[in-house]
Amino acid sequence: MSAKPIPVPAEGKRLDWHLSHPYSARHVAIALLLLAVILVTGHRTEMDRMVVMTGEAAGNLLGLNDDSQVVRGLSRVASAMWPPVIASQEEVGRLPELNRDRLPAFARIEVQERVVQTLNHETLQLESATSQVEYLVNPLGYLWTVLVKMLETLEIAIWGTLLSVALSIPLAYYAARNYSPNRATYTMARGTISLLRSAPELIVALFLVLAYGFGPIAGVLALGLHAAGFLGKFYAEDIENADKKPQEALEAIGAGKVKTLWYGVMPQVAPQYIAYTLYILDRNLRMATVIGLVGAGGIGQELKGRFDMFQYGHVATILLAIFLAVFLLDQFSARLRARLM
Amino acid sequence: MIRFDCISKVWPDGTQALRDISLHVPRGQFCVILGPSGAGKSTLLRAVNGLMQPSSGTVSIDGVALTTASERALRKRIAMIHQHFNLTNRMTVAANVLAGLLPAVTTLRALSGWFSPEQRARACRLLDQVGLSPAHLQRRAGDLSGGQQQRVGIARAFMLDPEVVLADEPVASLDPKISRDILSLIRDAARERNASVLCSLHQIDLAREFGDRIIGMRDGKVVFDGTPAELSDQRVEALYQGAQWEDQEPANPAPMPDQLAAAC
C-alpha cells in the first residue's frame, strides 16, 4: 500500500552485484574498545576484588583456606537471625487494661527474672538488683503482627498499581504518536512520562512523607507515580506498534479516535497490558517493602525499626514473610496470565 | 453517485500514483477495477473515503465534495471491505460486526459495548446473511478461516446500510470457489440496498462475471472503461503485459464516458 516498489532496472543493463562480509575491521575495533571500557569500569567497581573474595569464600566452605571475610560476615548475620521470632512478649506492667482472668487467645503470662543495674545514692556504686517481671507472651503474636503489616504492604502495592493504571491510560493515549492530537500534547505526555520514570520510588517517598506524613498515603503515591511513568511508556509503545489493519478499517468508516482505539487497538494489546500490569503489581509489592524504610507505611517500617534495634530474629521473620508474599503473588499472576491469554 | 474529478496523487517521494482520473459511478453499479499491481487501484479506492488525500482534484458523493469537513459524515455512508479482512483478531465475531456501527453510536455506548437489542439483532441477521452460524458469534475473529473472516468483514461493512461499498481486492487471498461466494455476497447485499460498489480485483474471470462495468487501470491512468463484453482477451493482455495501450486503441475504440474526455 504505502511501500514503494524498488524500480525494476532496464533490461540488458549490467548490474553490479556485491555482497560484503557482515562485519569489518571497524566492528572489531568497536568491540575491542567496548571490552576495554568494560575492563576499566570492572576495576573501578571492584569486580576483581569481588571475584577474589567469592573465591575465598568458596575455598573456605570447601575447607581449602581458614578464613574468609564473606563467610564470617554471613555466618554472623545468619546466627543472629536464627531462629526467627514469632512470639511477642510485653511487660504486664505496661498493659493496665489487661484482665488476668480473660487473657487473649493462646496468650499466657510468664515470669522472668530481670537484672537491673541501679546506682546507690549513698555509696555511689552500681548495684545489681534482680527483679521478677511478668510478661504477657503470645506464642504467635509477632507472626500475626508481621502478617498484618504484610497485608498492609500488599494493599499499598495494589493501590499503587490501581493509581498507576488510572494515570497511565490517559498518558499513554497522549504519548502514542498516532493518537496524540498534536505535537505539543505528544511532547508533554512523553516529558511527563520521562519525569515520572526518572524519579525513583524511594526518593519520591522520602519527599511525600514530608508532605503527607508517615503512613501508607506516601507509599501509595510514590509507587503509583513512578509506575504510571513505566506503564504509560509501555502502553504507548504498544498502541503505536499495534496491528494497523483493524484501525484502518475503523478509521475508514469514520469511527473516531477513541472508538478506534477501544475496538481496534485495545483487544490486540490487552495481553501485554495485563502482563505489564501484573509485573508492576509484583514490583510494587517488593518496592512497597523498601519504601517502608523511609516511613511510607507497611512492613518496611517494621523492618527498619527491628533492624535499628538489632532484633535480627524479628528481621528474619519479616524477610521470610516478604519472600513468601512475593512468591505467592508470582504464582497467582502466572495463573492469571495463563487464563487471560 | 461517486464522481472523481481530475484526481491526481503524487507520493512524497515523487511517485505518481494517479494521473488525472475522472470517473462517474452511478448508483447501484457494480464497478470492477482491474489492473496490474501498482496501477493505483487501492489508491483510487482510498480517495473515496479520505484514507488517501489526493494531490489535486475532488471526489464527490451525491454532489457533496469530500473535504475534511464533510469527511466524517460521508464516511458513515461508505463501507470498506479489505484484502486482509482487517478484523480485530482478538475480539469476538459479534464485537467485530458491531464495530461497524461505531460512527453512528455514542462514545459511551461504544466504550461500554452495550448495544441495543435492535443493533444486536441486526448483527445476527447480517451474519446469517453472509452464511455464518450462531456458533460463530463468540469466537475470536482471528480463529476463523480466511473466507469466514471475509464474511465477517462483509457483515461489518453492511451494518450501517452503506450507499457506497469499496472492496479493496476482497478475494485476493481466497481460493476460487470461496472468492465467487464472497463476491456474490457483496453483490447481493449491495443490490438489496441499491449501493454502488467499487471493487478492485486481480481475477479477470471474476471481473467479467460480477462487474456491471470494468475499469482498467495502468500506471495511475484509466486505460479501459466499458462493459465486461467489451473487455476482450486482447485488451486484458495489453492491460497486464505492458504493451502500449494507445497503439491498439484506434483499432477497437472502447466507449469512453464523456467524463474521461473532459479536460483537466
Query: How much is the ipTM here?
Result: 0.86
Q: Which residue do the cell numbers 518496592 mark?
A: A287
Rounded average pLDDT over B244-263: 47
Which H or E run contains A132?
strand A126-138
Using the Cβ of B35 and the Cβ atoms of chain A, whether some distance falls under 8 Å is answered with no
Beta carbons within 8 Å of B160's beta carbon, 6+ residues apart? A253, B76, B77, B79, B100, B101, B103, B104
> Per the CB < 8 Å rule, is B110 touching A243?
no
What is the separation, in whole angstroms, between the first and last Cα of chain B?
20
Cell triple for residue A211?
508532605
Least confident of A45-59, A66-80, A90-104: A90-104
Which residues of chain A are within 8 Å of residue B75 when distances are taken between CB atoms?
252-254
Phi/psi of residue A155, nearest 5 degrees: -65, -40
- Is B258 a residue whose pLDDT tops 90? no
Give B143-155 pLDDT, tens digit per residue.
999 999 999 999 9
Is residue B191 within 8 A of residue B197, CB to CB? The reply is no
Q: Which residue of A has its CA nearest to B76?
A: A253
Q: Does A151 touch chain B (CB under 8 A)?
A: no
pLDDT over 90 (residue B252): no
Q: Do B75 and A263 touch (CB under 8 A)?
A: no
Sheet holding B2-10, edge to edge: B16-25, B2-10, B56-61, B64-65
Alpha-carbon gap, residue B167 to A250, rounded angstroms: 14
B71/A249 touch (CB, cutoff 8 Å), yes or no? no
**CB contacts, 8 Å: A238 with chain B:** none
Question: For residue A306, how far is the Cα from the chain centroid?
Answer: 21
A295, A218 contact by CB (below 8 A): yes
pLDDT at B253: 43
B108 touching A, CB under 8 A?
no
DSSP state of B40: S
Neighbours of B17 (CB within 10 A): 23
Across the interface, whether the CB atoms of A260 and B15 are under 8 A apart is answered no
- Residue to test with chain A: of B42, B86, B111, B150, most A Cβ within 10 A: B86
Answer yes or no: do A252 and B111 touch at CB < 8 A. no
| Those residues with Cβ within 8 angstroms of residue A126's Cβ, 6 or more apart along the chain or in another chain | A117, A118, A119, A120
Separation in Å, CA of B12 to nearest CA in chain A: 11
pLDDT of A25-59, one tens digit each?
999 999 999 999 999 999 999 999 999 999 999 99
- B52-64 average pLDDT score: 89
Partners of residue B51 in chain A, C-beta under 8 Å: 248, 251-252
Dist CA A179 CA B29 (whole Å): 36
Report yes or no: A251 at the B interface, CB cutoff 8 Å.
yes
What pLDDT shows up at residue B255? 47
Tell whether the model's pLDDT for residue B261 goes beyond 50: no
Average pLDDT over chain A reads 89
* B89 Cβ under 8 Å from any chain A Cβ: yes
Closest CA to A139 of A92, A95, A96, A104: A104
Alpha-carbon distances, residue B239 vs A164, B8, B35 (angstroms): 58, 20, 6
B63 φ, ψ (degrees, to nearest 5): 85, -5
C-alpha distance from B107 to closest chain A C-alpha (Å): 7
Q: How confident is the model at residue A114 (pLDDT cuts 50, 70, 90)?
A: confident
Query: For A9, which DSSP code?
Result: P
Interface with chain B: mutation pick from A2, A173, A238, A263, highest number of B CBs within 10 Å: A263
Q: Which three cell numbers stand for residue A126?
A: 552500681
* Per-residue confidence band for A82, with pLDDT thresholds at 50, 70 and 90: confident
CB of B146 within 8 Å of any CB in chain A?
A: no
Torsion of CA B124, B126, B130, B136, to 10 degrees: -20
Neighboring chain B residues of A251 at a CB cutoff of 8 Å: 51
- Name which of B93, B101, B97, B98 is nearest B162 in CA terms: B101
Q: Which of B11, B51, B89 sits opposite A252 (nearest CB)?
A: B51
Q: Give the pLDDT score at B264.
A: 62
Is residue B240 within 8 A of residue B217, CB to CB? The reply is no
Q: Across the A/B interface, how many CB contacts are shorter than 8 Å?
A: 86
| Predicted local distance difference test score (pLDDT) of residue A66 | 83
Spatial strand order in the sheet of B213-218: B78-81, B164-168, B196-200, B30-34, B213-218, B221-226
Pairing of strands B196-200, B30-34: parallel
Amino acid at A179: Y
| pLDDT in the model for residue B263 | 54
B90/A4 CB distance under 8 A: no
What number of other Cβ atoms are within 10 A of residue B22's Cβ?
Answer: 19
Residue labelled with grid coordinates 478461516 = B145
**Per-residue pLDDT at B243 exceeds 60:** no
What's the mean per-residue pLDDT of chain B? Answer: 88
The architecture of the domain spanning A142-340 is Orthogonal Bundle (1.10)
Q: Do B71 and A254 touch (CB under 8 A)?
A: yes
The letter for the amino acid at A336 is L
**Which among B60, B58, B46 has a CA at the least distance from the CA of B17?**
B46
Q: Using the predicted structure, report yes or no on whether residue B251 has a pLDDT greater than 70.
A: no
Reported as a pLDDT band with limits 50, 70 and 90, residue A97 is confident
Global confidence as pTM: 0.79
Domain boundaries, chain A: 28-80, 88-93+104-139, 142-340
Task: Say if B178 is an interface residue toward chain A (CB within 8 Å).
Answer: no
Which residue in the set A4, A246, A271 is minimally distant from B87, CB to CB?
A: A246
d(CA A174, CA A136): 59
**pLDDT category of residue A282 using cuts at 50, 70 and 90:** very high
Q: How far is B220 from chain A (nearest CA, A)?
A: 14
pLDDT value at residue A36: 97
